[in-house]
Amino acid sequence: MNPVHIADPQDPRVAPYLDIRERDLAGRQGRFVAEGKVVLNVLFSARRFAAESVLVLESRLPGLAATLALAPANMPVYVASGPVMDAIAGFHIHRGVLAIGRKRAPQAPEELLDELPERALVVVLVGIANHDNVGAIFRNAAAFGAAAVILDASSCDPLYRKAIRVSVGAVLKIPFAVADDADGLADAMARRGFELYGLSPRGKADLRDVERRGRAALWFGAEGEGLPEKLLARLNTVRIAMAGGFDSLNVAAASAIALHQLAELEKSAG
């Protein structure tokens, strides 16, 4: 480990951490901000991402020793007092530790699909622009062993700070790719033997009756609009049964239910 004490919030070495709430780093040369020990543990063991540096509250340094031991040996660890850290970030950093990560070469969806095994469950998101929902869906995808997440270009970048945080690091764990064209993606998946399931309140099949085969993809659209009609027309549409009078379900909640149902989870002893 290589701790560097920072006394001046304007120190150029911590420039990537300046005013992080205002400046969304996502998309800037593939850099992003990761927060908290749990997320950093995932970042340091992620093969698709590199950690560029860490900024840590001096009082938190001892408690983070085991986490920082996972980081590359030459990665700088910037250490600051509470007031300096908050002045850098532009708000109070509750978790006391931040990292700047960098995406390695992005992968095209087809390339990612080609790496998947014969039995695989993939999540596809179309038009999900809310960071909390994207983060929560990644967390669910990780909990139920999804092999990948593919987002269309109108969904939000999973590397947005809040999405990473809500996902508890799952965004850095599950391979993901961005598809320019949802119809083209459906073709590419069908060619690779995926059964495509589109969640919709007006879906033809009840989720509880779906029998998953080897390769399956669960497609989710934004709350309200849902998946585009044109796309629904070529998917196996599936509905989640609800009680009358209040048939409204958050898309992350819907993903939890659908993933649990289709994940082929083992029945281990409790």
**Minimum distance of a copy of itself from residue 202's CB (angstroms):** 7
> Of the two residues 98 and 136, which places its CB atom closer to a copy of itself in the complex?
136
**Minimum distance of a copy of itself from residue 118's CB (angstroms):** 17
Nearest to 32 by CA among 13, 16, 44, 48: 16
DSSP three-state, residue 101: strand
> Of the two residues 55 and 240, which places its CB atom closer to a copy of itself in the complex?
240
**Minimum distance of a copy of itself from residue 176's CB (angstroms):** 15
Interface residues with a copy of itself (CB under 8 A) are 136, 139-140, 142-145, 168, 170, 173, 202-206, 208-209, 237, 239-244, 246-250, 252-254, 256-257, 260, 263, 265-268, 270
Kindly give, in sequence order, each residue whose CB lies less than 8 Å from that of residue 7, ignoring residues fewer than 6 positions away: 80, 84
> Of the two residues 105 and 243, which places its CB atom closer to a copy of itself in the complex?
243
Q: What single letter denotes the amino acid at residue 210?
A: V
DSSP three-state, residue 111: helix
> Of the two residues 153 and 205, which places its CB atom closer to a copy of itself in the complex?
205
Give CA–CA dist 56/53, Å, rounded: 10
> Of the two residues 75 and 143, which places its CB atom closer to a copy of itself in the complex?
143
DSSP three-state, residue 205: strand
**Minimum distance of a copy of itself from residue 151's CB (angstroms):** 19
User: Which two tokens mark 81?
Assistant: 């007092």
Provide, for the chain, the percentages of residues in helix, strand and coil under a 3-state DSSP scheme, each rounded to the nearest 5. 35, 25, 40
**Minimum distance of a copy of itself from residue 242's CB (angstroms):** 5
DSSP structural state of residue 241: -
